[in-house]
Chain A
Amino acid sequence: MLRFIVRRLLQVIPTLLLLSVLVFAWLRSLPGGPATALLGERATPERVEELNRILGLDQPIWTQYLRFLGRVLTGDFGTSSITGEPVLTEIGRAMPATIELSVAALAIAVALGIPLGYLAASYRGRPLDVSVVVVTLVGVSVPVFFLGYVLRDFFAVDLGLLPPSGRTSVGIDATSVTGFAVLDGLLTREFDASWDALTHLVLPAVTLATIPLAVITRITRASVLDVVGSDFVRTANSKGLAPGTIRGRHVLRNALLPVSTTIGLQTGLLLGGAVLTERVFVWGGIGTLLADSITLRDYPRLQALLLLGALVYVLVNLLVDLSYAVIDPRVRLS
């Protein structure tokens, strides 16, 4: 077990190092060179010259990379070329919004996807199963941002049931504790603020949940079908166990193992989807930051977001692997 954890941790290091090389190379190939990219296109030649010297662009490439790595490792991602604020501060401020949105979306996807996949598998080949499969295939074919617009226009604009954008309504003055709006309201007992934040969260979370939901449903279905046909489920049946015991202890416990890895992989999709969803719903999180950086060509921010995005993805998958080792005795005990 310990060896597994250590080995898995060690595997992450070369990946992250190589990632830093790629990002470094990316930064160097930005239009106009890194200095222009970092300062913005309107920078004076003198400032570019100066920054080139500061960045050590006159140094050999090897030295440049090591300096870059040193800065990254100490958390120095530079300042935004638009706002002039340290990038890390901006990211830190936007982070809770995105985490809130992603967690909500993932919760929806898992809470619906697993039962739906199980249900489809139990009615394999029947109309219910066929429609679930078709809906999941359509689900992954819909552009996320279009779905966002459709949901917003229908539920918020036409029906007026939910707020169309933002995280809180104007006039709600919530105390910020954690930065997670729904949680803050509960902590400070400002329940109306909590409720308000929750209504704002529904549409973006549903939008962001669609693709992970479709994927989790399909993997669960396939996995359950795989397990139901296995020898040990036949054994469980031959023991005359109660259907509930067979379902829970024998089918689900095995079927959910591959599903848990899939959930880890979804974080990548969530990060991408968040960029699109946040833009539709003016959410003001990391995704908005990223979309703005693209429009405004704010490369220091882009670079930091790229690194962080990959880092989060790698770490989440590491966590999933480790938790997998805890759930599966074959990994844990070998």
Chain B
Amino acid sequence: MTAPTTPSTSGQRRFRRKSERIDDLAAGRSLSAEALRRLRRDPVALTGAAIIGVFVLVSLAAPLLAPHGATETFPELQENLRPGQIPGPQPGFPLGSDQLGRDFLSRMLLAARQTLLVGVMATLIGLSIGMVIGVLAGAFGGWVDTVLMRVTDVMLAIPSLLLAISVAALAANPSQTTVIIAVAVVSVPIFARLLRGSMLAQREADHVVAATALGVKRPAVVLRHMLPNAIGPVIVQATLTLATAILDAAALSFLGLGDADPGRAEWGLMLAQAQSYLEVRPALAFFPAIAIIVVALGFTLLGESLREAIDPKGRR
């Protein structure tokens, strides 16, 4: 039987495995007003938030901003070029065109939306499944907990990219959905561990004991009294997961497990496709890569400063 993992307190630094590190985060405090106040003055958090803000705005406004469609081709651009050349910047096409004669700027803008979609969907799916597993394990304990946690342990034991690859490989025809699912699966055990840890830490907490003693039913205690308190660490992990999800999706595309639809504009996919044209037009790889780096950095910056804000140990 798995003994409830006591969240380790400061001062005692023993070795920790990956799973135990997640438990640590689960013991962090919730996002209090105090933490939020501190965040508002934290330049790191503000930078991250600003990057994410611009990214989300661009994604939402992409159809308005983009001068052309994602699949619209302009054969006239290639008229004066030798075969294999890719048109560079010119009037009406500030970034030139891509390998298929489509407006590169429009595709970059429209891809923001698809990239956000992949990141958010993967994180949400991972979070939802992980939450169900974690809450079940943490709230019920006993053999349910043991079995579920063993499964998450095994998932954590598979190197994450390998796990994503094997899930993506299950699909006969890779599509955006398979990429999202493959990336989501990687984060499931992390969220599950996190929520379980949070549930366990709270099982003995005064407000939970009090609610139970007052005769509040079990599901209500879990949903209304325990889950809200787990929200802080979950937000932290979700923010960080958004960054890794976007990077993992790019890696899958690079390995040929990305969306097979040639019309799809998504940064990871565009970066992966550009590898064949590096000599001809490096910009095709450069722009999506920079976009991915900046956005991933934005989520990481915000996530790390959120973590510091809720983790009493991280505050020095």
Contact = CB atoms under 8 A, between A and B. Distances in A.
A, B in one complex: yes
B172 A32 contact: yes
Contacts of A330: 14
Contact of B316 (A14, A15, A145, A225): A225
Nearest to B159: A268
Interface in A14-31: 14-15, 18-19, 22, 26, 29-31
Given A22-B154, A294-B257, A306 B289 contact: no
B120 interface: no
Interface stretch (A48-56, A69-77, A83-91, A254-262): A254-262
B158 A143 contact: no
Interface-centre pick from B11, B13, B268, B271 (highest chain A CB count, 10 A): B13
A331 B251 CA distance: 39
A143 B16 CA distance: 28
B37 interface: no
Interface string B146-178: 000011011101111110011001111000000
A146 B285 CA distance: 8
Given A229-B316, A268-B160, A328-B15, A18 B151 contact: yes
B106 to A, nearest CB: 22
B144 to A, nearest CB: 16
A265 interface: yes
A218 to B, nearest CB: 9
Nearest to A309: B162
A143 B161 contact: no
Given A146-B285, A149-B275, A314 B157 contact: yes
Interface string B263-299: 0000010010001001000100100010011101100
Contacts of A213: none
Contacts of A310: 154, 157-159, 162
A201 interface: no
Contact of A18 (B14, B154, B301): B154
Contact of A144 (B151, B153, B251, B256): B251
B190 to A, nearest CB: 13
Contacts of B158: 19, 306, 309-310, 313
Interface residues of B, number: 50
A98 B18 CA distance: 24
A79 interface: no
A303 to B, nearest CB: 9
Per DSSP, chain A at the interface is helix
A14 B152 CA distance: 12
Given A26-B166, A261-B15, A271 B297 contact: no
Contacts of A140: 243, 296, 300
Given A31-B172, A141-B297, A290-B165, A324 B159 contact: no
B41 interface: no
Contacts of B157: 15, 19, 310, 313-314, 317
Interface in A242-273: 254, 257-258, 260-261, 265, 267-269, 271-273
A275 interface: yes
Interface in A92-148: 137-138, 140-146
A190 interface: no
Contacts of B278: 149, 153
B250 interface: yes
A255 to B, nearest CB: 9
Contact of B292 (A143, A254, A271): A143
Contact of B13 (A138, A257, A269): A257
B172 A271 contact: no
Contacts of B251: 143-145, 272, 276
A261 B16 contact: yes
Contacts of B11: 230
Contacts of B15: 257-258, 260-261, 321, 324, 328, 331
A48 to B, nearest CB: 15
A132 to B, nearest CB: 14
Interface in A143-184: 143-146, 149, 153
A283 B25 CA distance: 38
Contacts of A32: 172
Considering the complex of A and B, which 5 residue pairs feature the smallest CB-CB distances, nearest first?
Answer: A272-B161, A31-B172, A141-B296, A268-B159, A141-B297
Interface of B: 11, 13-18, 150-151, 153-155, 157-162, 165-166, 169-172, 243, 247, 250-251, 254-257, 268, 271, 275, 278, 282, 285, 289, 292-294, 296-297, 300-301, 304, 313-314, 316
19 contacts: A18-B150, A30-B170, A31-B172, A32-B172, A137-B301, A143-B251, A143-B292, A145-B254, A225-B316, A254-B13, A258-B15, A275-B162, A306-B166, A309-B158, A310-B159, A310-B162, A317-B157, A321-B17, A328-B14
